[in-house]
Structure 1
Amino acid sequence: MLLFLTACAVPQAGPTPTLLSVPVFISLPTATITPTPPASMTPLPTHTLAPYEQYSIDYLRKRSYAGGALDVVQVLAEQEGFTTYSVRYQSDGLYIYAVMNVPKGEGVHPVVISVHGYTNPAEYNILTTDFTIENELADQGYITIHPTLRNYPPSDVGDNLFRVGDTIDVLHLIEVVKSRSGTGILEQASPDRIALGGRSMGGGVVLRVLTVSRDVRAAYLYSPTSGDERLNVAFFQQFARGDAQFHGESDAPREVVDHASPQNYYSDITASILLAHGINDRVVPGTWSEDTCNRLKEAGVEKRCIFYRGADHSFHNDDLKDFISEVLNFLGRHLQG
């Protein structure tokens, strides 16, 4: 069942759908990558940064992001409608790996960058990630890029206080798509039709990206964390206990956390947003998304919020089928025109 923020609607019960299949990846030997000259590092500011300044949304807006190369590492799988690749790019000198779906055939395609949620980096394997949504998007003519964020293998390790490092990884990838469209693996990418998707922690990252970048037309959020970093800091202290990338967050002054919180900058968002959350989510409270939707409305952001009654943190069966349909309709309206 699903609920809308402004009204309730109970869908008719139907047969349990067959979930979209995830491709079986082809095990290939490590490919030899043609070396690409390192992307220029973002110049350091001439002034000395104040403590924590680099984590603020204001600073993320001031700095620049390199549009370096997107290197193909290897072909992972061949599907009827698309090819799946392992690719990599640079983010502030770190190599960030990604799984990329490219539709077969001619034509220029919109690009969807999807951002994963949190799991223990020591247990993370990008090739066992659920790509159900990304694969359906590729079948419908979208190029999808799913980066393995910093600190998750095989990507490099880097600073990630308040998930700002993750934000930077996505902002660099947006710039790569914009500047390298029409060349290499991005030959068929449309630089003016970029969308984001974010699941759980990735949804919180996407919210911050949207307050920084005006290059994104639309974004869908799947069981996202909060736009209030104070809530996220407390959440990750418990949920990701022992993960060094978040150590020190609770020591930051409140004003620092506020300056890193997307909710204080929602009025600057230009993208349209689709948000979906399960009312029975036992990981990230659904009330967080209710608050996000209310704040987005107050900020004048175009949004659609759906709450699935009975759904947990991950959607299944009818809820998942409905959400995928919502995503396709949403992106179709905002990217296909």
Structure 2
Amino acid sequence: MTRWIPLVLLALLGASCSGAGDPDGAPTPPGSSSAPSSASGSSPPATSEPPAAVPPHPVSLPALAQKSFDGGRLRLGEEVARTGQHRQYAVTYRSGGLTVSGRLAVPEGDGPFPAVVLAHGYIDPAIYVNGQGMTRERAWFGDHGYVALHVDYRGHAGSDPDASEGLDMRMGYTEDVVNAVLALRDWDGPVDDERVALVGRSMGGGVVYNALAVQPGLVDAAVVFAPVSSDAVDNFERWIRPDPARDGVARRILQEYGGPRANPAFWEGISARTYFGDVTEPVLIHHGTADDSCPIRWSRETRRLMEQAGVDVTLRVYDGEGHAFGPQFELSMERTGRFLQRHLS
């Protein structure tokens, strides 16, 4: 898989600088002899084997891409909401050996219906409740003929705990979103397996970028609203390092992995933009010019890098709109509907 070659090359270059590959200092292999093999003093021709592939850092997008995803066992619980066009249920499914909770909107009718997986933005897991964060989007999709699975993520609401305690740099959340797609396809409900998209907001937009990078071809399209940066360093410096409430997490991250300057290879390995060349799905980005949480320059840079990598990407800019998309929410959803209708047909 060519996407991870840059990280392997970095590791190999590091090994070459350490002296491990210095022939003058290399130990003699067992069973070999430094004596000539013939009276003429000539040595047998050297044989070389290609260097073994260096495994990616266990907390990285390359490592996540190598996992076996196990999404399935989607189970409907109680009905929690209803409109004239759809019903919503509390649900659970399997992801990475864990049980993850969520909310599912199912349109009225026989289907099959196109589907979306919703990745919500950051909400403190200590106060997060089932289905929080993208309630407007979930209802809109249900009313417009989409099955919509809202992922709570591990460590949220009724999901199993997040064993990493924040040290997996959102890799677990990404795994949960990928497995949500697989769980929808495995479900015997009215889902059209050939028409599935990802939709994320804020932090969830970053999770969507990650999912596109580690599983190209998994879905047919992706939409993000007011997304975080596709560079993990931007997000760490914006929210985690300066937040007193998350000081303990920041210190553990720096102790475990090193900072962006001390260990740039690690931070590149958890940044979706490093792997934009692998993204195969069209992407629609919505961003407001007055967003004081995720600055619009992040999305402009993401668009530039995606275009440079050959991704079919569109950035829709909303003058005066903030992070939450208030006055122009309906416009953003209308544009989302047209985009998905075009790419999920």
Q: TM-score, normalised by structure 1?
A: 0.79
Q: Aligned Cα RMSD in Å? A: 2.0
Equivalent of residue 330 in structure 1, options 320, 331, 339: 339
Whole-Å separation in 2 of the counterparts to 1:258 and 1:241: 25
Whole-Å separation in 1 of the counterparts to 2:250 and 2:180: 23
What residue number does 1:177 align with? 184
Unaligned runs of 5+ in 1: 1-48
Deviation at 1:156, TM superposition (A): 1.8
- SS state of the match for residue 99, structure 2? strand
Equivalent of residue 233 in structure 1, options 232, 236, 245: 236
Task: Confirm or deny: 8 A CA contact 1:117 1:201 kept in the other structure.
Answer: yes
Task: Confirm or deny: 8 A CA contact 2:276 2:309 kept in the other structure.
Answer: yes
Whole-Å separation in 2 of the counterparts to 1:97 and 1:67: 12
Shift in CA distance, 128/63, structure 1 to aligned 2, threshold 3 Å: closer
Equivalent positions of 1:52-201 (< 5 A) are 53-127=57-131, 129-158=133-162, 159=164, 160=166, 161-178=168-185, 180-181=186-187, 183=188, 187-201=189-203
Shift in CA distance, 241/210, structure 1 to aligned 2, threshold 3 Å: farther
What residue number does 2:323 align with? 313
Deviation at 1:256, TM superposition (A): 1.0
What residue number does 2:298 align with? 288
Structure showing greater Rg: 2
Whole-Å separation in 2 of the counterparts to 1:233 and 1:150: 20
Deviation per CA, 1:65-84: give whole Å up to 9, x if none.
11320011211122111110
Whole-Å separation in 2 of the counterparts to 1:146 and 1:292: 25
Deviation per CA, 1:305-334: give whole Å up to 9, x if none.
0111111111112x2121011111011111
Shift in CA distance, 327/245, structure 1 to aligned 2, threshold 3 Å: farther
Whole-Å separation in 2 of the counterparts to 1:245 and 1:91: 24
Equivalent of residue 222 in structure 2, options 199, 208, 219: 219
Shift in CA distance, 295/66, structure 1 to aligned 2, threshold 3 Å: same
The number of residues matched between the two structures is 282
Deviation per CA, 1:137-175: give whole Å up to 9, x if none.
111110000010112222222124211110011111122
Deviation per CA, 1:30-89: give whole Å up to 9, x if none.
xxxxxxxxxxxxxxxxxxx97x82222221221111132001121112211111000001
- SS state of the match for residue 122, structure 1? coil
Whole-Å separation in 2 of the counterparts to 1:76 and 1:206: 26
Task: Confirm or deny: 8 A CA contact 1:274 1:305 kept in the other structure.
Answer: yes
Equivalent of residue 209 in structure 1, options 206, 211, 225: 211
What residue number does 2:311 align with? 301
Equivalent of residue 275 in structure 1, options 262, 265, 285: 285
Shift in CA distance, 255/81, structure 1 to aligned 2, threshold 3 Å: same
- Sequence identity of aligned pairs in percent? 29
Q: TM-score, normalised by structure 2?
A: 0.77
Q: Which has the higher contact order (CA 8 A, sep 6+)?
A: 1
- SS state of the match for residue 73, structure 2? coil
- SS state of the match for residue 237, structure 2? helix
Whole-Å separation in 2 of the counterparts to 1:53 and 1:285: 30
Task: Confirm or deny: 8 A CA contact 1:150 1:165 kept in the other structure.
Answer: yes
Whole-Å separation in 1 of the counterparts to 2:337 and 2:243: 32
Whole-Å separation in 1 of the counterparts to 2:64 and 2:308: 24
What residue number does 2:269 align with? 259
